[in-house]
Structure 1
Amino acid sequence: MPEGDTVYLAGKRLHAALAGQLLVRGELRHPRLAEENLAGRTVLGVRSVGKHMLTRFDDGRSLHSHFRMDGSWHLYRPGMAWRRPAYEARAVLATAERVAVGFALHDLELLPTDAEDRVVGHLGPDLLDPEWDDAHAAEALRRFTARRDHELGLVLLEQRVMAGVGNLYKAEVCFLLGLSPWTLVRDVPDPARAVALSRELLLRNKDRPEQSTTGELGRGRQHWVFERGRQRCFRCGTRIAVGEQGDGVYARIAYWCPRCQPGPSPAPLHGAAARTARSRR
């Protein structure tokens, strides 16, 4: 699932390409929206909220989209070949100079702009909100500490607590805190640092496609533990462990260093079990 910085960057690029422009093509290839045609509408702007995207039009409506596991928005020049199959396209918004294509967008909805809270109002503070201030930080901290009996890794992923963290940043924040993802929130020594680190890492990467938490961009050096199962920890040399956290469809692969991140943890997964878990991340 894309991280909040990925969605932010997509929204930034879409806004630059579409804002203030008249749509010459506006197809929504979704069963509920197949009869809608946005051609002739002017795009007022595009913004992200956590992992949600809102594209606003001059008729007082907004197009809400969510990337889920495999969705994405691509930008092209007219006539360019698409990088994903046409049958995966769920939205095509074209101006005279740019073509925005939304692929595999399972969640797609047109709604009044003044009713956007219906789809994003449940979220916690957006970690990449341009207007983030002490009040946002305090609210995120309040929601975080209220989950005192829940596992740290799961709470970091909970968008109702704070919006934007995905599995990559969950793994990296836990590492930088020096805590197992299975540590209960009530046992986190500095909850405010967990919020601050989550925002810091997203901010660090919001304007580029590469996501680095180590400060390095070289291949294999970008992350402390994420997707480094069985490799050596950069800090202590211990092999990174791989496990699964959460239940059922909410289960996600977890990475941690058993030495740098003390605390409760399950038995690490190995071999075929680890590969199966990674395929469900």
Structure 2
Amino acid sequence: MSRISIILPAKNEAAALKDLLPRLTAAQPGAEIIVVDDGSTDDTRAVCLAAGVQCLSSPYSMGNGAAIKRGARAASGEILVFMDGDGQHDPADVARLLARLDQGYDMVVGARDWESQAGVGRGVANTVYNWLASRMTGQVVADLTSGFRVTRAARFREFLHLLPNGFSYPTTSTMAFFRSAYGVAYEPIKAGQRVGKSHIKPLKDGVRFLLIIFKIATLYSPLKLFFPASALFFALGCVNYARTFLIEGRLTNGSALMWSAAVIIFLIGLVSEQITALTYRPVESSEMRK
């Protein structure tokens, strides 16, 4: 049986961990449990020691993604389980996700329903992300941003260099798995209310969520984003030319600028597509050498 490592990034989550860690230990008695303390100022480390759980502490906050990467490097298990340290995820659901992984998948994600979303705004944003990711990949993406997932350690570590230090590691890892043709499945879960205060700031993180939309495209196939934009500018240039030709009988600078923009955007997309391919090429080459 494969050894399991459970990784929980935590920043000032001592209150949640007091209840979560004993339940997690009971649900997965043979698993390695690692709490990555992301510069907490509460007694997170003391709670972990009291529960007999390994705690990796950072001297200052480096971000949720940085905690995930540090935990993935330290884990000794062949299977990695990622859970939030705020008590939203039910330890009893780990077994269901592991069972799906045994069906031949490389990653299984706990997919939240609408009632499990942290507010209407977050629910709408996640719906948009899921729709866009599904269109990009041609696969059904039920929950792009869920932090509750299980994955094969060897597969996940291939993409550590791509993962950001911030909150968007779920988006990055999911799109990287799709890009590399690794099997991804979704298992429905119910997420509870977090214990304590959320670290997400609506104004600051609103910009971050907007950038996620562009990251979805650039991680999978940039040309799928740039080509429609290029076609739109080209079409607008043609429409403007038809209008000015009928009215003034000439080609205006506006049409020329739109056509130029169409060419530039298309070329940017083409170059981005090649860069994306090169980003994944070393991973594919290393797999072939094994």
| Same fold (TM > 0.5) | no
Short-chain TM bin: under 0.3
Larger RCO of the pair (alpha carbons < 8 Å, separation 6+): 2
User: TM-score, normalized by length of structure 1?
Assistant: 0.28
User: TM-score, normalized by length of structure 2?
Assistant: 0.27
Richer in helix (by share): 2
